[in-house]
Copies of this chain bind each other. A is one copy, B any other.
């Protein structure tokens, strides 16, 4: 999917919501597991996803598949992850699919991950970690209309361990005054040399709206994937005010707040309501 196509979907649906499919077999409602006693445990993962997707798709432009939850049950879980993507592609061809994999490895290994997420799984985007530098990112950027979503400033508490640490340029002039820039800003500036707004997004947490506004100044055009709304304390309003650009430029993710809002037989209806609530709030900012 291209930048313009993504923005067109956002306008059409009046929403920049991304629903996170962090599907934990232990949290799948009993009613799903009981629906078919002959199925394997892992199949309940797909059936749950299918119901959540069908209920929330009208309010959603993207689904984010958190690979960890599908890897924990082993190959059976990975199979259900693949079924989920196939279902999304077949049933909702305009949906943007994110593999939230946070991979980061180099050369040949990076190529294998790109193959896993862009060819085998056919997702539109994959989240990556910048630690190892360009070698870990560039192999993904050769895919047409596919996206890298690079970790920049995340929503978690220990983002302060390294992400916000002040860095200085390696300079040959020892006595030159040195500008200190947080690591996440170096990541964003460097990544902007590797790709463009057409193939790189950044992960910027909703829990730090003042930094979100600052990052929007550094890269006015890129999309941001924003976790941390809801359970972690960020709000749609803060994020929209600090981070929106003229093409929206935001995908705001909610996982647990939508998919586990209700554990009864009405789980899908409740998920739809929660997604609709968020989309309604988003629409206010899109219409401005």
- Contact residues of A with B, CB < 8 Å? 22, 24, 66, 68-69, 71-76, 78-79, 82, 100, 102-110, 112-113, 115-116, 119-121, 129-136, 151, 154, 156-168, 170, 180, 183, 186-187, 190
Contact = CB atoms under 8 A, between A and B. Distances in A.
A66 B187 CA distance: 25
B159 A165 contact: no
Nearest to A80: B75
A82 B74 contact: yes
22 contacts: A66-B109, A68-B113, A71-B113, A72-B113, A73-B120, A74-B121, A75-B75, A75-B79, A100-B105, A102-B129, A106-B158, A129-B129, A130-B162, A133-B157, A133-B158, A133-B160, A134-B158, A162-B187, A165-B168, A165-B170, A166-B170, A168-B168
Given A78-B75, A167-B166, A186-B162, A132 B151 contact: yes
A103 B156 CA distance: 16
A132 B156 contact: yes
Given A68-B103, A158-B132, A112 B82 contact: no
Nearest to A79: B75
User: For the complex formed by this chain, how many copies does it contain in all?
Assistant: 2
A112 B163 contact: no
A120 B75 CA distance: 10
A156 B74 CA distance: 30
A72 B132 contact: no
Given A113-B71, A133-B163, A108 B22 contact: yes
A108 B107 CA distance: 29
Contact of A72 (B115, B161, B167): B115
B159 A133 contact: yes
A106 B207 CA distance: 15
A190 to B, nearest CB: 6
Nearest to A73: B120
Contacts of A180: 168
Given A72-B115, A162-B190, 4 more contacts: A74-B79, A132-B158, A132-B161, A133-B162
Contacts of A110: 68
In this complex, the member of A22, A69, A165 whose beta carbon has the largest number of chain B beta carbons within 10 angstroms is A165
Contact of A183 (B154, B156, B183): B183
B162 A131 contact: yes
Contacts of A133: 156-163
B72 A112 contact: yes
B186 A165 contact: yes
